[in-house]
Amino acid sequence: MKRPCRGERNVAYTVPKLKDFSAAALDKAVEKLLAALEQESGALGNGDERKAFRDHWLARKDGILTQINELWLKAAPKEAKREVGQRVNKLKTEVEAKVEAALKRTPAAGTESAIDISFPGIRRAIGAEHPIIRMQNEIVSVFKNLGYSVAEGPVIETDYYNFEALNFPPNHPARDTQDTLFLANQQSKARREQLLLRTHTSPVQIRTMEKMKPPLRIVIPGKVHRNDPPDASHSPMFHQVEGLAVDTNITFGDLKGTLDHAMKSLFGSDVKTSFRPSFFPFTEPSAEMFVSCFICGGSGKRGSDNAPCRPCKQTGWIEILGCGMVDPNVFEFVKHNGYDPEKVSGFAFGMGVDRIAMLKYGLDDLQLFFQGDVRFLEQFG
C-alpha cells in the first residue's frame, strides 16, 4: 500500500470489491473514489510525495486505475459488463486528467522555496551576428540608404546564368573544373544547362533584369564557391556583395561617386579612393578600386617605430573591389525586357565580404571565421 500524501491522517484510498453492480451502487463507488482523489491531491506536497501520489493512482502494476479494471470490470457479471466498462473508461480519463492537473499545480522538488534575492540572477545567453554576416549587413545597409533594393538568387546555378549571360567566352578558364565546382553527372547536359556552385553573385543581376524593367538599382549579398584549397587567405566558400545600377545616361562618374560615398561610410570620411584599369568579362571599361589604408592612414608605416604596415604592404593603398560599366553584350541577353544597350547604361561592382571583414577586424587568417571557435566569435558579441 502506498504511503499517505502529506497532510493525510487516514490510510490512502484503496479500491473496494463490489457486490452490487447496479447503476446506483456504481455511482456511489465512483463518487467515493473521486472524493478520495480530491482529498489526496489537495494535500499533495513535493519531491517524493509527487511520485508516490502519481504511482498510487496511475502505476500500471498496482495503481488505482489498474485495480479498478481488476476488481470492478473483470469481476462484473456478464449482463453488467457493458455498463461497468463504459463507466470505468470514463472514470479512467477523469482520474488521469485530475492527477496530471494536481501535479502541475504542485511545484517539483527544490522549486517550492521562496526566491532568494541574494542569489545571482540567471543570465540568458544571447547570440550575436557572425562577424561576416555583420560586415555583410553593414555593407548592404550603406547601399540601402542610397535607394538600392536587396536581391537574392540560388546558390546552385546553370552555366548560362553564371557564365554565358555574363559574357564569359566558351574557353574562359573560369569554366574549367580547376576553378569552378560543377555538380556531378552534368556531362550529358547541354553546356548552358550544366549545374554548378555559383562563383559570384552576378547571376542574380541577369535574373533580376529578366524580371524587372529599368531603371534598376540592386545590391546582392550571398555565398559563392570556387575550387580553392583553404588557407589563410582562401576558402572554397566565401561571401560577396555585388551591386548593379541601370538607367539612362549613367556614367563612370556615377560609379566613382557611389563607391566613394560607400567607402567613406564603411571606413571613415578620411578615406580616399583610387581607380585603376582592369578587366572583367561583364564590364567595359573595368577597374579595380583601392582605398587609402585606414589602418596606417595611407602612410605605409605603423606606430612610433614606423613599422611596415602589412595590410597595405607599405603602399598606403588597399584593393577593395572590382567594378566597371556593364558591357553592352550583357544587355543583349535581356534586351527583350527593356535593356536596349543603345538606350540604357549601367555600372556594376563586387566586393569580398570576408576580406573586408579581415581588414576591418585586423585578422590575418580567413579560416578563423569558419572554424566555429566560440572563444574567437565571442569577441564580436
Instruction: Name the β-bridge partners of 246.
Output: 216, 346
Domain regions of the chain by residue span: 23-105, 131-380
Whether residue 240 contacts residue 351, with contact meaning beta carbons closer than 8 Å, is answered with yes
**What's the pLDDT at 3?**
46
Task: List Cβ<8 Å contacts ≥24 apart for 142-146.
Answer: 142/262, 142/265, 142/266, 143/219, 143/243, 143/262, 144/219, 145/265, 146/217, 146/258, 146/261, 146/262
The type of residue at 93 is T
This model's pTM is above 0.85:
no
The per-residue pLDDT for range 199-231, each reduced to its tens digit, is 999 999 999 999 999 999 999 999 999 998 888
Assess whether the previous peptide bond of 229 is cis (omega < 30° from 0). Answer: no
Residues of the chain with pLDDT under 70: 1-11, 46-47, 106-115
**What's the pLDDT at 47?**
66
Q: How far apart are CA 134 and CA 227, in angstroms?
A: 25
**What's the pLDDT at 186?**
87
Enter the CATH code of domain 131-380: 3.30.930.10
**What's the pLDDT at 2?**
45
**What's the pLDDT at 203?**
96
Q: DSSP alpha helices (H): ranges in 216-251?
A: none
**What's the pLDDT at 115?**
67
